[in-house]
Structure 1
Amino acid sequence: MVDRAVAFCPGHISGYFRRVKGTSVQTTGSIGAGIVISAGVEATATPADRPQVLVREVDRTGTCRTVLTASPPIAYVMDRLGVAAAVTTVCTLPIGAGFGLSAAALLSATAALNALYDLGLSAHEVTALAHEAEIVHQTGLGDVSACQGGGLVCREGPGPDGTIGRICGPAAQPLCAVTFGPLPTPAVLQSGPAMAAVEAAFPARCPDDLVDFFGLSRQFAERSGLITPEVRHALSLCDDAGVPASMTMLGNGVFASGDRALEVLSTAGEPYHLEIASGGFSVLEHAS
């Protein structure tokens, strides 16, 4: 055992998805496409007599914006591993805004715990446990599977073992996003009518490239019935400027691509500059 372990996991913006109910937790999740983004969650784990979790959301200057003193999914992971630790997660993007931060927090925390106590879990086992925690607590469906690696991702099967295609490499166009507050994921996932609309809106194919991804994502957003008034306004601004854009799933926000994306979204809110991640979660530090 070491005295401290730090891990990082990138976030994920889902463009479109369809829920899949499998025969087990590992075969339950979703299929669809999204972008793994370089911003995400860093988790630090240190030994403790009892499980403790601190969730910190910081702003662009590094000032703490939100602090939560509990995370049932991360506590669940510690219980499943049979360990106790003090885990602190830090993110610079807003929580609950469709950036896949619950998955990123679970993956980074699980990886840090694995390193802290030298548990010997493989990357696949870390992913499987994080996916299990997310499904059990209904904080997401497919972000964990996507964040195993980087790039533009298409998940053709549910869970960590599902078929996943990735288009990696630098984005041809700049990416940015703006958020208008949280859209509670559990509330949507537990709504029968909302999930029925999502099912009907799902485009049944993988995108060919980033341009195609935005087109399929926007088609899904329009047909899903999830677009909020704030999102509609931002999308209209993008449409008027000829900027490819869609709604972050599931989040009350918009992500866009192109040279004018940052300029246009700046008129709707304070945008975040994003990059496509080249890889998935990793351990940054484990030392005595």
Structure 2
Amino acid sequence: MRVKVPLHVSGLWIPFKSENPLETGSYGAGLNLDLYMEAEATAGDCGIRVNNETVLRDQSLEICSGGPGVSVGAYSPVSLGSGFGLSAGLLIAHALAAYRAKGLPSLRAFQVAHVLEVKYSTGLGDVLSEYTGGFAIRLKPGAPGVGVAHRVMLPENPVLVVGELPYREPTHMMLSRISSSLYSEAFSYYRRIVETEDLHEFFTYSQAFTRRIFDYSTVDKVLQGVKGVVSFYLKKAALVIWVEDEYALEVSELLGSKGVKVFTTRVSSRGVTVEYSTKSPAKREPANQGETG
């Protein structure tokens, strides 16, 4: 069983908390990229490995509870904790594999991945967004099957130059720095995006919101006066730049010359995808590499 999950970068998020973790989540919007985490399931020990590193140990043990041991080995082009929704993707992959081994429906797997994101403060809306794919607007907070997200049918799918900057901050610490007044402002932006579904406005409002949270000074300095940049926004270490097609290589090389890990991609055309084998997860070596879409 192989699982492929698009990396997701939120631009707007407004947390919603409930006593029921299935209903906890966020209103907001973000881009699922045509850049993927890929994972392969194996039977045996319980665990999650990404790029040959064991991660999310407590979460993986909860996923395996009450069933056979299943592990996933994953490849990701970006690092955990950098703002690309990687923890959600890894939990989705592990839960889908473990719940298939238990004979349980895939919807419950998506829901347990979401609940674990909420419980361990690693995310609020990434599971629902990655499940949906594309330019995803979260209309109702919560897990798949409870929350609701809409994938916008874009009239164009522009080139994106995406960079991973050398910045790390746990999600719960990042959220603790955001005031209620800023969330009120963000919600007004969000309502506008719901009305227009306009990608230009999404970038504009995402930048206006995240400038109040993250340090844009280095990015502004690097991109000042650069031709072909339509717009950009920053979420933790994830820098998403909309560029005109003919300038994509130039912008990519510029970021690369500054030591930034850089990718040229577009908005994904799909959410989570699974390739099933005819048998339960086999005992074999986990995958540790893959393609980035």
Aligned position for 1:215: 204
Shift of 1:268: 3.1
- Percent identity between the two aligned chains: 25
Task: Summarize the Cα distance change of 1:17–1:148 in structure 2 as closer, same or farther, 3 Å threshold.
Answer: same
Partner of 1:97 in structure 2?
A: 82
Q: Deviations over 1:88-120 (max 9, x none)?
A: 1211233322211111111122222233x1523
Give 1:125's match in structure 2, choosing from 101, 108, 126. Answer: 108
What is the TM-score when the length of structure 1 is the normalising length?
A: 0.81
1:188 aligned to 2:173? yes
The AA in structure 1 aligned to 2:233 is M
Which runs of at least 4 in structure 1 moved beyond 6 Å after TM superposition?
none
How many Å separate the matches in 2 of 1:185 and 1:36?
21
Give 1:34 shift.
0.5
The aligned counterpart of 2:4 is: 8
> Corresponding residue for 1:43?
39
CA 1:195–1:144: 2 relative to 1, 3 Å: farther
Post-superposition offset of 1:169: 5.1
Higher alpha-carbon deviation: 266-275 or 148-157: 266-275
User: Which segment is superposed worse, 177-186 or 18-27?
Assistant: 177-186
Amino acid corresponding to residue 8 of structure 1 in structure 2: K
Q: What secondary structure is seen at the aligned counterpart in 2 of 1:184?
A: coil
Task: Name the counterpart of 2:53.
Answer: 68
In structure 1, distance between residues paired with 2:208 and 2:95: 35
* Match for residue 52 of structure 1 among 29, 41, 47: 47
CA contact (8 A) 1:108 1:282 kept: no
Q: Tell me the TM-score normalised to structure 2 length.
A: 0.80
**Any idea what the Cα deviations from partners look like across 1:193-241, whole Å, max 9, x if unmatched?**
335465244123125222121111111122x23225433434x43x654
The corresponding residue for 2:20 is 24
1:267 and 2:254 correspond = yes
Q: How big is the shift at 1:262? A: 4.6
What is the number of residues matched between the two proteins? Answer: 265
Aligned counterpart in structure 2 of residue 111 of structure 1, from 96, 101, 110 = 96
Alignment of 1:151-190 (within 5 A): 151-160=134-143, 161-168=146-153, 171-189=156-174
Given that residues 151 and 278 in structure 1 are in contact (C-alpha distance below 8 angstroms), is that contact kept between their aligned partners in structure 2? yes
The amino acid that maps onto 1:263 is E
Q: 1:140 to 1:232 in 2, by over 3 A?
A: farther
Partners of 2:130 and 2:109 in 1: CA distance: 12
Match of 2:288 in 1: none
Paired letter, 2:70: A
CA contact (8 A) 1:36 1:276 kept: yes
Secondary structure of the residue aligned to 1:99 is coil
Q: Match for 1:233: what amino acid?
A: K
| Counterpart Cα distance in 1 of 2:234 and 2:114 | 20
What residue number does 1:226 align with? 214
Among 274, 277, 291, the alignment partner of 1:286 is 277
